A = this chain, B = another copy of it.
């Protein structure tokens, strides 16, 4: 079984050899730019890992692995426009570095190029791959729109939030795994179980990400503590806090929204989170997702030694985040 690091290196090598050129060049440049910004390459690595688990060859799953990475980057380009985000991985976003028109169009082009990569997969029913891919692709759009809609809601329910992060981030992890498994010739049943593993792991990752904003160690997390609080983001912590609060704590939470002293605001909200036991409740939700994920992984009909890399990688990723 290949390790995360081996597969990551294989993905990086392929990405750096991809060349997106055409006329006009200013439409193609943002594709290479986005792909050069790096990252964990989680989705393509998961695709290759699933393929490896079912005895597939990395080269056969590579086009699909690259397709999900290009698709993921397309969503980042369009999301950054919607979020008015100036910075992505320490560098200017596409709409900042070029302009909004180029960001919309080169995003559209990346979506088309992702499908091109996917259909270049050999020896597999391409229609089946596109069905898996497109289902997740549509759901990612739904998740992003739900997230946008939440900004105009006074209160979001826990289940609504879980549904949103499932669509916005988790289903693409599941689909990446399912594509890799399908290309390796896994049964539909095994491929679906792996999809569900990826989906629940993805939700757990996202919950962890929310937790770290308030309860992580700033240096390790690599971003400043309380960023979500400062931006009044409706994270799982915030949603659970409102649910657990009595009238007076609810007032206290809501009064934080308009506070101008950022440091005071962050400290006050974290104190309220601690008082309400929000961390423990969220940890429970995360644990439940992890249990579901690993139960699906266990139920897959390959030897447990073949599942070890995927299992360890998931645990390591979760720990590296904390």
Question: Which residues on A are within 8 Å of B, measured CB to CB?
Answer: 22-24, 26-27, 78, 81-82, 100-102, 104-109, 111-113, 115-116, 119, 126-127, 130-131, 134, 137-138, 141-142, 144-146, 148-149
Contact = CB atoms under 8 A, between A and B. Distances in A.
Contact of A126 (B112, B127, B141): B127
A138 B119 contact: no
A127 B122 CA distance: 11
A266 B149 CA distance: 45
> Which of A107, A108, A142 lies at the interface centre, i.e. has the most chain B CB atoms within 10 A of its CB?
A108
List the 3 shortest-distance A-B pairs measured between CB atoms, nearest first: A27-B145, A109-B141, A82-B101
Contact of A141 (B78, B105, B145): B105
14 contacts: A22-B138, A24-B149, A26-B149, A78-B108, A82-B100, A104-B104, A105-B144, A105-B145, A105-B148, A109-B141, A111-B112, A112-B141, A113-B138, A119-B131
Contacts of A130: 115-116, 119, 126, 130
Contacts of A26: 145, 149
B115 A134 contact: yes
A160 to B, nearest CB: 10
A148 B78 contact: no
A160 B22 CA distance: 15
Nearest to A108: B141
> Which of A112, A130, A138 lies at the interface centre, i.e. has the most chain B CB atoms within 10 A of its CB?
A112
Contacts of A116: 130, 134, 138
A27 to B, nearest CB: 4
A179 to B, nearest CB: 15
